[in-house]
Amino acid sequence: MKIAIDGPAGAGKSTVAKRIAKQLRFTYIDTGAMYRALTWNAMQKGIDLNDTQALTALAHSIDIQFQFTPEQQRIICNGYDVTSVIRSPEVSAAVSIVAAQTQVREVMVKAQQQMAQHLDVVVDGRDIGERVLPDADFKFFLTASLEERVARRQLDLINQGYQVDIESIRQDIIQRDRMDMERETGALKILPDSIVIDTTGLSIEEVCAQILTIIEEGGHAI
Ligand code: DC
């Protein structure tokens, strides 16, 4: 079974996807982490983030692995554990530039499809229902108000030990929404078969319960 979860930054996708995967004993694939790892690696190497050719070559050669422990998932890039560093404000600010490039996306989408092949998966991202898993059994689109998404991102960053300014988080989210929705390929959008869940004011538990009910009942929005 394949479950796609798309939506904008801060809608709660990864937390929800992780829990749903655990509950169903499926594999969780965090595609945002893959674009983040690529961006981190490009920055490490001093690659110009607008150089599509260099980024595409890097996307072909990069080794990204997910390691599962009972508590969490670690992301290993070329042998380094990049789980924390890919969430830094520097990578967050740069990743949309990398993810906007069509050729880079083609390589990443293929890698994601290969990972998902032959597995029961929950995959989250922006273009999962449309590009990565167009035949997914369920396509969820999670959303939430801008203010709630800003507050969640602020809490995430504080928990990771970052000093944060709420206005710069808001601007970062607005900017990423715009880039994610307006790019040429793989743009974030609600599909005709998306099941939309507005998570504003809902706890993680409530969102997961809604999703699991929909899956159990075979695919109708509540
Ligand atoms: O979900 P996230 O914030 O970790 O995603 C990081 C960036 O990667 C975000 O700017 C959107 C982009 N992304 C994408 O373009 N396609 C995906 N399937 C997943 C993420």
pLDDT higher than threshold 60 for residue 222: no
pTM of the predicted structure, to 2 decimals = 0.92
Mean pLDDT of 117-128: 96
CATH 3.40.50.300 correct for 2-214: yes
- Dump pLDDT digits (tens) for 161-184: 888 899 999 998 998 899 889 888
Name the closest-CA residue to atom 13, ligand 1. 32
User: Can you tell me whether residue 145 is helix, strand or coil?
Assistant: coil
For ligand 1, say whether the CB of 199 is within 6 Å of any of its atoms: no
How far apart are the CA of 11 and the centre of ligand 1, in A?
12
How far apart are the CA of 184 and the centre of ligand 1, in A?
15
- Dump pLDDT digits (tens) for 23-69: 999 999 999 999 999 999 999 999 999 999 999 999 999 999 999 87
Alpha-carbon span 104 to 126, nearest angstrom: 15
Given its phi and psi angles, is residue 29 left (phi above 0), alpha (psi -120 to 50 degrees) or beta?
beta
pLDDT higher than threshold 70 for residue 220: no
Contact between 38 and 96 (Cβ < 8 Å):
no
For ligand 1, say whether the CB of 35 is within 6 Å of any of its atoms: yes
For ligand 1, say whether the CB of 126 is within 6 Å of any of its atoms: yes
How far apart are the CA of 92 and the centre of ligand 1, in A?
9
Q: In this predicted structure, what is the pLDDT of residue 124?
A: 97
- Dump pLDDT digits (tens) for 134-155: 999 999 999 999 999 999 989 9
Alpha-carbon span 124 to 4, nearest angstrom: 6
Alpha-carbon span 13 to 19, nearest angstrom: 10
